[in-house]
């Protein structure tokens, strides 16, 4: 409370308006000394007009006092908890790229710090036996309708895993503060798989920064790995993927042959997913099904309109321009992709992003662009989640 008094107010007498809610705890000032006042939002316009009319200079010290109060409240609760909570996610540097063990640690810390909101589900193991971790954000209920988001299915697309980390933090920070997100979490769960291809991600750190696929060897071939985004059971084996194990778009021996893919399939089939969003980089595109065929989806108009709204909202932050459309029109034909599968499972709001940039840096996006990318992408995600919440099916 002491902090509140320090920020708020000093004098009101200068204006003598009874609509003011100052906490006058100081004596009246002299002319020529600054005065702090606290103004309720519904009186803000009127106050500013008054001050301008009388040529009284003013500046805003604090735009929204409530924000500071909330932060302080959180800090106090944390300090008073009898189990000292690791506050390390506050020290986590979202503006740099992290290795796999740092990401796993972050996930555990986030859960430890937010036990009432976040939990970790291990949905399976990668080929090299790494855990496939999904963070569940939930305010309760059983088998609630849910949003699925995955990042990093292609390991070289580093801005996606980095954005996933930022999204996790964003959800935790904004829950209870942002009305839109709070509304979503009050009725729906969010599932976030940050490192969808951990074997590939580890390989991009140790061996080859440009590695895309899984790390499963292919019998009879020198070439390793399957493209996890050609391995789903939707248009599998058709055009838009390769049967050659050495290809970057090798579909694998059969649909869902990769545990990284199969684990998600099993998870989605046993949960109530209403929106499925796969995040890639680069190209600055927001796309919906199909990739395997030119036949438009039944919900083409709705998904097209929603995509248009989402990219407009994304652009509002930094002016980043995204194109949108079905996969096969916007980028290329691709068979066996995740969102085509999800849509055919009945998950209407199935989208895939290609994040920044358009080729100048490509996969090697400067770390300084991680946060701006995540921030703008979040606006588009919120648009999709909000629409999903308001349009139950």
Partner 1 sequence: MMRLVVVLAVLMGVSGIPDVTISPPTASADTSAHPNSIPETADESEQIKARTEEGAEEDVMATGELNPNHYPARRAAQVVQHYLNTRYGSPFRLIGVQTVHSGNAEDVADSGRKYQLELSVNDIITNTTQTCSAELFFPKGKGQQPPEVKASLEELLKIDIKAQEEALYQKYKTNQTLMSAQYLPDSHGHIEPDMKPFWHLGILASSFIMLNESTENTLYNVAQVANITQLTTEEDHLEFDCHTLLHEVVSQEIIHWKMLFTWSPAEGVKVVQMKRLPHRHEREKSPKTN
| DSSP code of residue 369 | G
Shortest distance (Å) from residue 91 CB to partner 1: 19
Residue with smaller CB distance to partner 1, 85 or 174: 174
CB atoms within 10 A of CB 326: 22
What distance in Å separates the CA atoms of residue 137 and residue 360, rounded to the nearest whole number? 35
Q: What distance in Å separates the CA atoms of residue 150 and residue 161, rounded to the nearest whole number?
A: 9
State the minimum distance, in angstroms, from the CB of residue 131 to partner 1. Answer: 24
Question: How far apart are the C-alpha atoms of 306 and 384, rounded to whole Å?
Answer: 7
Q: Do the beta carbons of residue 322 and residue 308 sit within 8 Å?
A: no
The answer to whether 280 and 365 have CB atoms below 8 angstroms apart is no
Cβ nearer to partner 1, comparing 208 with 391: 208
Considering beta carbons, is residue 40 or 140 the nearer one to partner 1?
A: 40
Least gap, CB of 200 to partner 1 (angstroms): 13
Q: Taking the complex as a whole, how short is the minimal distance between the CB of residue 96 and partner 1, in angstroms?
A: 7
Annotation says 354 is catalytic: yes
Give the nearer residue to partner 1 in terms of CB position, either 32 or 392: 32
Cβ-contact 259, 196 below 8 angstroms: no
Active-site position among 258, 354, 369, 376: 354
- Specify the residue, 25 or 321, whose C-beta has the smaller distance to partner 1: 321
Residue 71, token pair as written in the block: 């932060």
Least distance in Å: CB of 77 to partner 1? 17
Token representation of residue 316: 């509002």
d(CA 96, CA 370): 7
In contact, 276 and 347? CB cutoff 8 Å: yes
Q: Which residues are catalytic?
A: 354
């Amino acid at each position: 409370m002491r902090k509140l008094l320090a920020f708020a107010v000093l004098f009101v007498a200068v204006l003598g308006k009874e609509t003011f809610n100052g906490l006058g705890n100081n004596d009246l000032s002299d002319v020529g000394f600054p005065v702090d006042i606290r103004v309720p939002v519904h009186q803000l316009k009127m106050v500013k007009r008054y001050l301008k009319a009388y040529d009284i200079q003013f500046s805003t010290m604090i735009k929204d006092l409530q924000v500071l109060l909330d932060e302080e409240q959180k800090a106090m609760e944390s300090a008073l908890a009898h189990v000292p909570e690791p506050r390390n996610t506050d020290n986590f540097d979202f503006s740099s790229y992290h290795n796999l063990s740092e990401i796993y640690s972050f996930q555990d810390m986030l859960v430890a710090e937010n036990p009432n909101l976040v939990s970790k589900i291990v949905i399976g193991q990668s080929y090299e036996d790494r855990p496939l971790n999904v963070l569940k954000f939930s305010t309760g209920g059983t088998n609630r309708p849910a949003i699925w988001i995955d990042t990093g299915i292609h390991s070289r697309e580093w801005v996606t895993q980095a954005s996933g980390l930022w999204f996790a933090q964003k959800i935790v920070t904004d829950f209870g503060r942002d009305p839109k997100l709070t509304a979503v979490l009050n009725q729906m769960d969010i599932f976030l798989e940050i490192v969808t291809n951990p074997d590939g991600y580890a390989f991009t750190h140790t061996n080859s920064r440009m590695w895309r696929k899984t790390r499963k060897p292919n019998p009879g071939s020198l070439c390793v790995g399957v493209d996890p985004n050609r391995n789903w059971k939707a248009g599998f084996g058709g055009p838009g993927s390769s049967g050659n194990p050495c290809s970057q778009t090798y579909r694998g021996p059969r649909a869902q042959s990769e545990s990284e893919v199969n684990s998600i399939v099993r998870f989605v089939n046993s949960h109530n997913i209403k929106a499925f969003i796969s995040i890639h980089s680069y190209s600055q595109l927001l796309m919906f099904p199909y990739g395997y065929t030119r036949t438009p989806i039944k919900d083409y108009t709705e998904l097209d309109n929603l995509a248009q709204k989402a990219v407009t909202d994304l652009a509002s932050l930094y002016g980043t321009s995204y194109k949108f459309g079905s996969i096969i029109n916007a980028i290329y034909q691709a068979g066996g992709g995740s969102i085509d599968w999800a849509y055919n499972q009945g998950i209407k709001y199935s989208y895939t992003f290609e994040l920044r940039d358009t080729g100048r840096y490509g996969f090697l996006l400067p770390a300084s662009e991680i946060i701006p990318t995540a921030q703008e992408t979040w606006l588009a995600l919120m648009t999709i989640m909000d629409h999903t919440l308001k349009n139950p099916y």
